[in-house]
Every structure is written in structure tokens, then in C-alpha cells.
Structure 1
Amino acid sequence: MKKMTTTWLLVSLFVLAACGDTATSSPSDSSQTSSASSLSSTTVSQSSTETSTVTSTTDGTSTTQTSGAETNPQATLWNEDKAAQLRSFMDDWGAEMGQTYQAYSPGNNVDLYGLALPDGVLSGSDKWQAVIDDTPIDIAWSDTGESSAAYNLVAVYSDAETQDYLDKHVYFFTVHNGSPLVLVTSQNQGNENDYLYFTETENAKLKEGFKQIIQAS
């Protein structure tokens, strides 16, 4: 009997020890579950924040976010950089033609058989009228290739300083209706209307060179 009592006592102690282990491990499992729940909550919170940011960006600041890289402003028809490109082009083209060209502008005129250009057709009470095929044209100097005039004069080149007397040329580089147009005159005589006659250049390389410069970004 005593032996049986001792056996039951040992069994009871073993059961109590097992229950104690289970009770001890439960808080740990609960803590892990709580941590996992917290992590899940954090993830959801972060996801919500990210979604909110995207929504805010789409609805409110789409212009700033969507733009990313800034778009280039629309290129002007004419500027100092393009003027430099034309100067370089005229040096090369003139050399090919066996001619030497210099640039001129308002206040810095070339003498074409007694007529100062470009001022002679741009200003003054005694200015001459620029014409194309007997049709007077409205022409004005422009630093951008745009103005209220029909023909925007952006550059003038001439070989008058170095060519023989009857072999002088003056080129007017213009923008007409947004398109490049190279006009040339070699007029060496006056007329009763004080017309300075221009024609479009027939030199394909000169026309194409100016066109590429105008259309460049």
C-alpha cells in the first residue's frame, strides 16, 4: 500500500511539472503572436501611408511628380548660339566658294555700291525698299527670329570688302512665316523707286545649312 501511494505521488508530481512548463511557455507564445500582430499592423500602416502618398501625388501634385525630368523650353528660332553656328558655317562655305564673308548688323553696315546695309532698308527717311520680284516686303531686324514684320532679318553676310567691284554679294538671312529664307542681292545701280531687289539664293548648300541651324533645338 505504501508502495502504491508513493507511485501515485510521483505521477502527480510529474503531471504538475508538465502543467507548469505549459503555463510558462504560453506567455512566450502570446508575446510572439503579439509581436507578429504588431509587425502586421506596422506593415499595414506603412502600406496605407504609401498608398496615401501615391494618391496624394496623383490627385494633388501630379505635375511635379509626373514631370520627373524638366522638359526643355521651346527652342527659339534664333539666338546667339545659332548666330555663332552660322558664322562658322559661312567661314567654311565662303572658303569653298573662294570668297571671304563678314557679318553685318544694324549700326555695323556693309557698303554695297554706296548703299549701307542693312540699315539702308531698315530705317531712316531715305531708306530703300527691299523687294522680291518687284513686290515690296516688310522686313525688320530680329534677335529671336520673330517680330511683327513678315520677314525677320537675323543675319547679314557680305563679301563686298574683298570681292572685285562687280562681284559683290550681300546675303540676308531671314525667317519668313517661321521658315528659313536666304535672300541675296548684287544690285549695283539705283532706280527711280529706290528698290533694292532680292532673290532667293539658288545655292542649295547655303539654303540647307541655314535651314539646319534654324531648325536645331
Structure 2
Amino acid sequence: MEIIPRIELTSLRPDSSEEEIRRLAMAAKELRLAALTVTPVWARFAGLALAQSPVRMGVVVGYPMGTHTPSVKGLEARLALEEGAAEVTLVPNLSAYKSGHRETFRQDVAYVLKQCRQANPEAQVKVLLYVDLLSLAEQREVVRIVQEGGGRFLLVGTFVPQPITPTMFRRLAEFAGPGCLLGAMGEIRSLEEAQALLALEAARLATPWGLEIAREAGGMLR
């Protein structure tokens, strides 16, 4: 299974500059990566930088905490999609879930998905789950609630930076079941780590080390 078309390059730092976004967009196009994901403030610029290429432009919504109100997340997603985003990565409200407000948690996911469908029915929406903040029983329940809210593409992630391990991925895949796409987002730093997740059929590998992994896999930049 080829790894480069599964790599999603991310630039989510608070100090990301215009020049960095331009450079990453050019590299993503040359390497033919799957996508470049940025914060919403860079959506328009990244979209223009990726124009006339197959590389998809994505944005994060509610990142990194997930504790924006649903209306704010929905607006954030709609505006980004109107500016050319093809993908949205949603951070759900785990605070609501941890407080026992399961329906609030479900509605948060469902509302943003609805806003995305209205803005662009073809948009791909991924839901990022911080598995380090959840017990295994909680992971199982959160996956079920996200799916009830319409989520069909989940990303394994961690809030505290640490490697995304095959064990983390395998567990969430078991909870998600067939018919649900699963990827990983965060601390994937090497080709070896990426290949371990790809072997488990990861649909997407979102990482700020995407260029390094692609080069290690044989991708060439002019």
C-alpha cells in the first residue's frame, strides 16, 4: 500500500507564517500528498496556494480544545468551506462528555456535520479523538456517540503529545467497526511509525512531519 497518497501534512502551530504555508503547499503539490491542513485563518491563502492541484485543503475546527460552542464551530467550518476547504477536522466537546452530558456531546458533532453538509455536501469531515484522555470504556462509548451524530471518519490522536501507537489505533478500529474510516493525527514522526499504522489500514496519516516521511518513502522535491 503506497504511503505518500495517505499523508496529510499539517501546519497548526500558533506561529505558522505565510511563507511557511506557501512552502508547505508547494511541497505538498510536488510530492502529491493527500492534503494540507491548516488553521481556519489560513484557509483562503492555503486554498489559493493549492489551486490547480489534486492536493486537498483542510482546516481544523474547534482545535485544539474542542470546547467552542457548536454555533462557533459550525460557523468556523462553514466559512472555511466557503473559502475552498475540502476537508474539516473537528475536535468534539470531550468536556461535555466527561461531565456526563452525552446528548450535548452528540449534538456538538451532529450540528457541525450538518453545517458542513449544507456548505459543501462533498466535504470530508473527520472527528479527532484524544484517546489519552479516555479510558477504553469511554473510547468505546465516545465512538458510538460520534457515529450516532453522523461521524463516519475518525482520527486517533492524543492531547498530550506522544506517539500514535498501533495499539491505540487497533483499539479504536475495534470500537468503530466496519464501515467507518479511521486515520491518525499528531505525533507520527518517521516512516517506520507511519508504515506501522498503514499496515492497520489507516486511511489518513495527518502529521507535521509529513514531508520528512514522504521523502523517506522515496518522494522527491525538485
* TM-score bucket of the superposed structures, by smaller chain: under 0.3
TM-score, normalising length: structure 1: 0.24
TM-score, normalising length: structure 2: 0.23
Q: Which structure: larger Rg?
A: 1
